[in-house]
Amino acid sequence: MTFIDAQIDRIVGPTHHFGGLGVGNLASQMHAGQTSNPRAAALQGLDKMRLVAGLGVPQLILPPQPRPYFALLKALGFTGSPAEILQSVLTKNPAILSAAASCSAMWTANAATVTPSCDRNVGSAVMTVANLSASLHRSIEAAQTQNELAALFGNALEVRQTLPGGAPMRDEGAANHMRFSGIDGQPGLNVFVYGDGSPEPQCHWPRQTKATGQAIARSHGLQEDNVFHLKQHPEAIDAGAFHNDVVAMSHHDLLIHHELAFAQGSCQEIERLRRRFEDVVQSPLRVLRISSKELSLNDAIKTYFFNSQIVTASHAGMTTWTILCPVQVKRNPVTYELVERLRAEQFFHTVHFVDLGQSMDGGGGPACLRLRVPLSEQELEHIPNSAFWTENRDSNLRHIISDRYPRELKLIDLANPEICQRSLETQELIAKCLGQKPANA
């Protein structure tokens, strides 16, 4: 059976702003309070989708989640008309206004963890929606994401609710999960990356726990031999690698990681992964460990080299690997040389540099902006046509964005009821354009 990695991206919403809300996320903190450009953010995201779809990869699109999320503000005790609520939350606790207006759901790599049917002994493919319980602004994404993913995939796979349990079971989805696989239809090997436990990072709270990875592996029915748990290096978390995909990337039989991605003592687990891969796939797992000498942790995090998005493109029966790197990788001589070397060594056939400046300033690169869902051709057929990227949809979306999105936004603007009303209406228009029922704010 042939499996294809569908990519799901979300249109960045009209209230995209720099709230400085990302836990342990240096880019987010560094840009806190700066003026954002929601229009550029949405168009940059669409440009990436166009590029991926143009490679022949199934590209699915989600609409922005409705923001500001008044349900949160009301649940936290703010009352009155929308204008009164907005004014009151701005005065009493602006961080809550920022959370309620955050467009962080655009980083869909954090939406869920996916297991294709071939990895399970019984049953269909399954995904568990991430609870994102490490931060207020992200935790409010889950309920809506659950409905959206169920609407997209309900006929193809099982969409499970978030893990219960709050902080001990904090889960950031596919950003901390890597799946290695060989020939289509064979079971893949699943690596869950976590940050808690000794030795702990000194500056930042780890966003994912080992218990979370274990719970997902169990509940997805993964065979124990095919499950691996790797601890993030505390130094990496402290340097700003709040998710594993900031310091490691994976695609089929390839793992590229920084030498400080995983804690000391992880070598044995990586060795077990290599051996198991060889047993199951009958060919070697390619592991590329980039030393600090080759690329410092700081440069890795500044450029988001490891957050490049790898896709398999098919043309006339030929498959090629394409890597989409943030343009910051090209601007840094060390990472530029590294990616050029990898291309020369045929790890990738094509390299594209993409400008995602607005997302990067919130701490999200190309790979953060997509959720990979390996689907059989049959499963793919069950996905509503209206969710796929097409030229026509792209042009309609660009029209709405160029017409209605602000070019400049600061937190204080989010207390303006007219801006908020317009934002909610725009979200509805985009949802309709993508054949989705508008959700409630």
Residues that bind ligand SUG (CB under 6 A): 18-22, 25, 28, 102, 104, 107, 109-110, 138, 175, 242-243, 245-246, 362-364, 368
* Cα→Cα distances 400→90, 250, 433, Å: 28, 35, 10
Nearer to ligand SUG, 59 or 307 (CB): 307
CB of 362 to ligand SUG, least distance (A): 4
CB 200 within 8 A of CB 129: no
Q: Which of 16, 137, 204, 243 is catalytic?
A: 243
Q: Which of 103, 368, 420, 433 is catalytic?
A: 368
CB of 345 to ligand SUG, least distance (A): 26
243 is catalytic: yes
CB of 31 to ligand SUG, least distance (A): 7
d(CA 176, CA 172): 7
Nearer to ligand SUG, 158 or 355 (CB): 355
CB of 430 to ligand SUG, least distance (A): 20
Nearer to ligand SUG, 178 or 280 (CB): 178
CB 46 within 8 A of CB 414: no
Q: Show the 3-state SS of 147-172.
A: HHHHHHHCCCCEEECCCCCCHHHCCC
CB 4 within 8 A of CB 374: yes
d(CA 323, CA 314): 14
Residue bearing tokens 């994976």: 250
Q: What single-letter DSSP state applies at residue 296? A: -
278 is catalytic: no
Nearer to ligand SUG, 40 or 156 (CB): 40
Q: Which two tokens stand for residue 253?
A: 């039989």
CB of 66 to ligand SUG, least distance (A): 17
Q: Which of 141, 148, 172, 379 is catalytic?
A: 172
Nearer to ligand SUG, 234 or 365 (CB): 365
Asked if residue 199 has a cis previous peptide bond (ω within 30° of 0), the answer is yes
- Which residues carry out catalysis? 172, 243, 368
